[in-house]
Structure 1
Amino acid sequence: MAEQPLDGAVALVTGASSGIGAATARRLAREGAAVALVARRGDRLDRVARDITGSGGHSITVAADITEPERAEHAVQQTLDRLGRLDVLVNNAGIRLLGSALHTTVAEWDRMVSLNVAALLHVTHAAVPHLIYAASTSPREVADLVNVGSAAGPAAWPGSSVYSLTKSGLNAFAESIRRELAADGVRVSVVEPGAVDTELMDHLNEITQDAARRQVAGIEPLRPDDVADAIGYIVTRERRIAVNQMTVRPGDQSW
C-alpha cells in the first residue's frame, strides 16, 4: 500500500459518534491515522469503529462525557495509553439549540456553553502538551488542533444568540492559542461550516425546527463528508502551510 499522509500519526476526534465527527474520523483513518473516537454514546462509536476497521483502518473508542474535566483528561490519556501519542485533535463535539431570549430556558443556554465551550477547553488543555511533543518527534514536524466552529459565529441571527456566542468565542480562543503554539509546530485551525445535514436539527423543539427548516429551504445542505474533507485537507498539508480558518458553505447559501 502506498504511504499515506498521516501514516504513524494518531488523531482524537470528539463528537465522533455521528455527523461531522464520524465522517472526520473515517477521513483521517483513510489518510493513515489511528483514530481515537470520543463521544458519550458508546454503541454509536462502536459502529463508526467497525466502519474504520472494515476499510483497513485502526481506531479505538472512548465513551466519555467530556463536559466533566476528569473525563476529558481520561479520554486524552486513554488515547496516549492505547495509541502511544497524539498528533491531531479535532474538537468537534457541540450542540445547537435555537430560540429567542424570551422563550429559551437558561438550562438550554448552559447546555450549549457546557459542551461547545467548557468541553472543548477541557480536552484542549489536556492535549496541548502532547501535541507539542508530537510536533517535536514526528517526521512531519507538525501537529494539528482543529476546531469545528460555525458560519453562525461571525454572522449571528435572531434566535442563535448563545450558539453564536459559543462559536464566535471559539474564534478568539483559537487565534490566541495559535499565536502561543506556532513556534512549537502546532497548527491551530477553525473550520466554519454553513448549513449541514446533520442530526443537530433534531435537538430543536418542533416550533424552532420548523423555523430552522424554513430558513434553509431551497438550499442543498453540505454533507458531513464535505466538512470532513476540509479538515482532512488542513491536517495533511506540509509543515510550511497553515490553514488557520476555513468557511465552507453550501454553494447556494447566501447568508
Structure 2
Amino acid sequence: MNNQLNLPLAGKVALVTGASSGIGQGTARALAQSGAIIVIAARRIEKLAVFEKELVAQGSTVLSIELDVTLPANCEEAINSVIEKFGRLDILVNSAGLMLLGPVQDGNLKEWAEQINTNLLGLMYMTRFALPHLIETRGAVVQISSTASRAANLNGGIYSGTKWGVNGFSEGLRKEVSSKGVKVIVIEPGVAQTELRQHITDEAAKKSIDTAAAKMRQLQPADIAETIVFAVTRPDHVLISELLIRPLDQDF
C-alpha cells in the first residue's frame, strides 16, 4: 500500500497541475507510488476521474480538482481546497502547459495569449497562492519548463518566450524563499511522447516538429516523473535548482 511509512513521501501532500495527461499525469503517478497524498488538477475533469480510479485502486489517497490555471480565483480556490481537505501542502508541480508553435509573422494572437496565460501566468498564480503553505511545510515547487528555455527554435518564439519567463521567475523566487526552506526546482524536458504537439494548429510547424520527433527515441512521461521524484526527495540541505533532461538523440 502507498501509505507505508517507509515510502519517501509518506505523509506529504502533492498537487500536480495538468494531471489529466502527459508529464503531469506521469508525475502524479510517480509521486503517489512514492507515498504522497495526491491532488490531481486539470480542466478535463472527466479524464481526472478515470485517473483517480487508477490511483485509488493502487492504494493512494487522491483528490481531483477541476482547474483552469489562467483564472487566478480558480487557482486560489484549488489551493484552499487542498488545505481544507488535508491541512497542508508540501509539493506543487506546475505542469499545465501549451505548445502552439508557429511563426511570429502573421501569428495567431489568441494562441499567443493562451500560451502566456497558461505556461507563465498560470504557473505564477499557482505559485503565489501555494507559497504561504509551502513555507509552512518547508516544501518544494517544481516548475516544468523546457529545453526551449535555453534555445529558441524556428516557430518557437512565443513558446520559448514563456519558458524563458518560467526560468526567470523561478530564479527570482529561489532567491526569495530558499532562506525560508522552500525548494524551487526547474525541470527542462526535451522532446517527449505526450499530446503536447497534437494541439499545434500551424500545419507547417506541426509537420516540422513531428518529423524531428519521429527521428528520436522520445522521452516518456515516466522518465521525467522519476527525475522529479529524485529532486523532491533529496536531503533538506540539497537543492537541485535546474535540471535539463532530453532524449539522447535530440540535438536541439
* Superposed CA RMSD: 1.0
Q: Letter of the aligned partner of 1:20 in structure 2?
A: I
SS at the partner of 1:89?
strand
Secondary structure of 1:29's aligned partner: helix
Deviations 1:66-105 (A, max 9, x none): 2110000001111111122000000110000000012421
1:74 aligned residue: 77
Q: How far 1:177 moved relative to its partner?
A: 0.7
Percent same amino acid at aligned positions?
38
Distance 1:59 1:103 in 2: 44
SS in 1 for 2:214: coil
Please give the TM-score of this superposition, normalised by the length of structure 1. Answer: 0.95
What whole-Å deviation, never above 9, does each CA across 1:92-127 have from its counterpart, x for those lacking one? 100000000124211110110010111111111100
Structure 2 gaps, min length 5: none
SS in 2 for 1:56: coil
Which residue identity is paired with 1:160? G
Alignment of 1:80-119 (within 5 A): 80-119=83-122
In structure 2, the residue matched to 1:133 is 136
Q: Which position in structure 1 is the counterpart of 2:186?
A: 190
Instruction: Indicate whether 1:230 and 2:233 are aligned.
Output: no
Q: CA deviation at 1:12?
A: 0.6
- Partner of 1:149 in structure 2? 145
The equivalent residue for 2:125 is 122
Q: Which residue of 2 aligns with 1:56?
A: 59
2:54 aligns to what SS in structure 1? Answer: helix
Task: For residue 59 of structure 1, report the CA deviation from its aligned partner.
Answer: 0.9
Question: Residue type matched to 1:111 in 2?
Answer: E
| AA in 2 matched with 1:219 | M
Q: CA deviation at 1:207?
A: 3.1
Residue 188 of structure 1 aligns to which amino acid in structure 2?
A: V
By how many angstroms is 1:214 displaced? 1.7
SS of aligned partner of 1:146: strand
Q: What is residue 15 of structure 1 aligned with on the other side?
A: 18
Q: How many residues align?
A: 248
Q: What TM-score do the two structures reach when normalised by structure 2?
A: 0.96
Q: Which residue of 2 aligns with 1:159?
A: 155
Counterpart amino acid of 1:185? G
- 1:114 and 1:64 mapped to 2: Cα distance? 14
1:208, CA displacement in angstroms?
A: 2.4
Give SS of 1:202's match. helix
CA–CA distance in 1 between the matches of 2:85 and 2:180? 25
